[in-house]
Amino acid sequence: MTTLNEYLDSAGCSSELKELIGLISMQAVPIREAFINNQSYSGTENTSGDRQAALDVWSDEHITDALMRSGLVSEIASEEKPDIVRNPKAGTGFAVVMDPLDGSSLIQVNLCVGTIVGIYDNSNALSMGRDLKAAMYMLYGPMTVLTVSVGKGVYIFALKSGVYTLLDGPVKMPEGNLYGSGALKKDWTEKHSEFISAIEKDGGKLRYSGSFVADFHQILKYGGVYCYPATKDKPEGKLRLVYEANPIGFIAEQAGGLISDGKNDLLDIVPQKPDHKTPIYVGSRGIIKDLERIMK
């Protein structure tokens, strides 16, 4: 079986990028072990006003500390922090953007959550998604899996006995019929409602858990679309361009899919601030093209 290290070597990754991907991927072990003792809410909110679970805070501090100590990362932008963390002593120009624990509201009911990470090699965490050097996410389900792209396709690895081995890849996103949409239906715009109705008329199957990364993983494997749209009261949407849309969109495109705000490819948008919010539609190429025709 091909290991993660062997794959990264074959993909021509630099030793520094390989070390950084390896370091981040292995944080899945302590994060998963911390689930039992971090079940409650912390009593604080992140920059978007979301209640922080204790494990949100723990995961953010843990990964940030590991990255700072590594000396590999000059900038860190985290969903759980209001400002970018800078390390002037870093020996490389990597910048990391992350959602340390996506879907944390599901921890208490033991549903799937994950960690989303994007890596730039230009020391700038507020770069457009198309400039990513690598993107990855760890998914804490029945297995601990790592989905990663270094710009040469998408590969999925499973963690066993401290080693990630290849589970699937290169992954190609099919034109499937799964769909999931966030926000309350009563708040949807007319165009978004029209889009969802068209999917349902074509036999679409609803899949929505409340964990963006877990729901996207189903779309990656089976095809379809995940969306968190603009709403009547929040035209900017809810999810973040930097921490969530760009890394997931980079992976989607590498698998043959697309990511859009309904009109524009999100990978081509330069973030205006760390907490830049955007509507998100990510999934199979055909269904995203259909969406853009409806929205335009």
Active site residues: 50, 56, 79-80, 99, 101-102, 244
| Torsion of Cα atoms, 242 then 286 then 102 then 70, to 10° | -50
C-beta separation of 102 from 216 below 8 A: no
The phi, psi pair for 190, rounded to 5°, reads: -60, -40
Answer positive or negative: Cα dihedral of 216, 275, 259, 165: negative
DSSP-assigned letters across all residues of 119-172: EESSS-TTS-GGG-SEEEEEEESSSEEEEEESSS--EEEEEETTEEEEEE-S--
Quote the CA–CA distance of 97 and 123 in Å, as a whole number. Answer: 11
Q: Are strands 113-120 and 134-140 parallel, antiparallel or unpaired?
A: antiparallel
Quote the CA–CA distance of 126 and 146 in Å, as a whole number. Answer: 24
Which tokens belong to 254?
């590498």
> Residue 159's beta-bridge partner residues?
164
Side-chain-side CA neighbours of 220 within 13 Å: the count stands at 27
